[in-house]
Amino acid sequence: MSSGPGACRRAAGPPSAAGWRCTIPTGVWPWPWPAPSIGSAGGASEDREAVLSAMSRTALAGASAVLVLGALAWIVGPGASVPGQAVARPNVVLVIGCTLRRDQLSPYGGLSAASPFLQQLAQQGARFAHAVDAAPWTRAASTAIVTGHHPIEVGMIEPLPTPSRRRLSAEVTTLAERLSAAGYETIGLTANPNLNRVFGFAQGFDAYYEAQGLWGEQDDVLKIPATELAQRALELVDARQRRDDPLYLRMVTIDPHEPVEVPRRRSRAMAPDGVPPRVADYRVEVRRWDNGLRVLWEGLQRRGFSRDDTLLVVINDHGEGLSWPPEHGGGHGHHLLPSVLDMPWVVVGPGVAVDHLIDGIASQIDVHPTILGLVGIEGYTGPGHDLSGPIRGAAHTGLDRAYADTWFGRMSRAAIYTEHRLCVHDFEDLAEQLGIERILPRTACFDRRIDPAGREPLAQPDEELIAELEAWRGQMWRAFERWPHHERLEAGVSEDALLDALGYTE
């Protein structure tokens, strides 16, 4: 669905506001339109449901099972405790950290100085041990987050050898739209232009800040830091029109994304373990992001929000290869290995188990239905699973596999993650087409128990998992072909400049 006219923009203003445009709605903003399910356009819906029906039934069955467990008693994991009872309609704050590599975050074994505030939050709530991103670049991965569907299912991959100009269709029902329909006031902010309004990601928001304008000339590129974005978010919270309604706030940060330039003394301080300079620089940016997260949460607390009435959800869209190890590549978009696809997922708030590590596989497409489950909103029928039960104390997700794929930069690659295996397969052999040497085999499997980073392929691929992956990819491609709402656009000069600065127009 398309968003209403209460979008935020800011074309000019003081230096601190440069690059933003905002029009804040006045009065109580009416949202007259319903929240239809995906594929609600007549016969197209029947085709759509034919493809997704099996996955939908699985998701609904899983959600029902979780609700039954909740009515009886939670199976609480070792060491976990549960705070006060969940409130009926808690506020929801979703922070999406672009290019956050999980193994570099403190709650997941990263340097303690890299993200100390996130570490504090993890100790106050629950975190998933084995969550997996659905795609290795922002627009595709964000589609999975906001829709609960793999991006290929809803037309958000580009199979042609051109930069993606795919736009999220107005026929897709986003998380913001579902929350808005349930009475939430919705505020969105993004420092990454891939989530700008022009690409369809402002759907369902009453107010929306986005990256705008030219970031600078050539190497002089300005990124909006998380600390500044957090201040913008707090300003929008202060300008709320419906203070008696629950709040949904989504903030997309970009600090660790290339280009990265940090003072050498700070970089050295982040390398006590002798990591390469690029990794140390990256950690400095992660710390800046962590400071922004702290500014946001502490600012909300000063305004009366707390763990008793507000769910804080922190995830990434994807990670970063950092050429560490070398076979993982320098950035993201192409590879489907753990450095790029391991997803941090930390939740704090009412009813959330404290200092609770959740075992089992989880997928990025589970974020949408899980948030709905935590706030008690029904209506989602996609392939994702409601994992609110584990967040409230269950020890395991009950899931044992997750899928991911990428079509970025002429790539056609998919992966399957299980608790013990990771298998990746190239459906197009670009190395052969381009005449370049392969770093990894076209089909590679890894033993996640002894090689969690995915560095040493097994001598022989797991043929059963590869066959399963091929079947999944075929099913997804048929869904893509049947999807009736493909939307492409020619981004404006402003978006082109921003995307080019981030390396998205290769």
Q: What is the DSSP string of 32-69?
A: ----PPTT-STHHHHHHHHHHHHHHHHHHHHHHHHHHH
442 in a structural domain: no
Number of independent structural domains in the chain: 1
463 in a structural domain: no
DSSP assignment, residue 216?
A: -
185 in a structural domain: yes
The predicted pLDDT at position 490 comes to 63
Question: Which two three-digit tokens encode residue 67?
Answer: 């609700």
pLDDT tens for the 506 residues of the chain, in order: 544 333 333 333 333 333 333 333 322 222 222 232 323 333 333 333 333 333 333 333 444 443 333 333 333 444 555 555 667 899 999 999 999 999 999 999 999 999 999 999 999 999 999 999 999 988 999 999 999 999 999 998 887 666 667 899 999 999 999 999 999 999 999 999 889 999 999 999 999 999 775 333 444 456 889 999 999 999 999 999 999 999 999 999 998 887 777 778 788 889 898 899 889 999 999 999 999 999 999 999 999 999 999 999 999 999 998 866 677 565 555 789 999 999 999 999 999 999 999 999 999 999 999 999 999 999 999 999 999 999 999 999 999 999 999 987 778 899 999 999 999 999 887 655 556 666 788 999 999 999 999 999 999 999 999 999 999 999 999 999 999 998 887 655 455 555 555 555 44
215 in a structural domain: yes
76 in a structural domain: yes
Residue pair 339/320 in contact (Cβ under 8 Å)? The answer is: yes
- The H or E element that residue 117 is part of is helix 116-124
422 in a structural domain: no
Full-model pTM = 0.80
Structural domain harbouring 396? 15-24+41-407+481-501
Cα–Cα distances in angstroms (integers) from residue 124 to residues 89, 92, 105, 237, 449, in the given order? 20, 16, 16, 24, 28
455 in a structural domain: no
End-to-end CA distance of the chain: 30
CATH number at residue 366: 3.40.720.10
449 in a structural domain: no
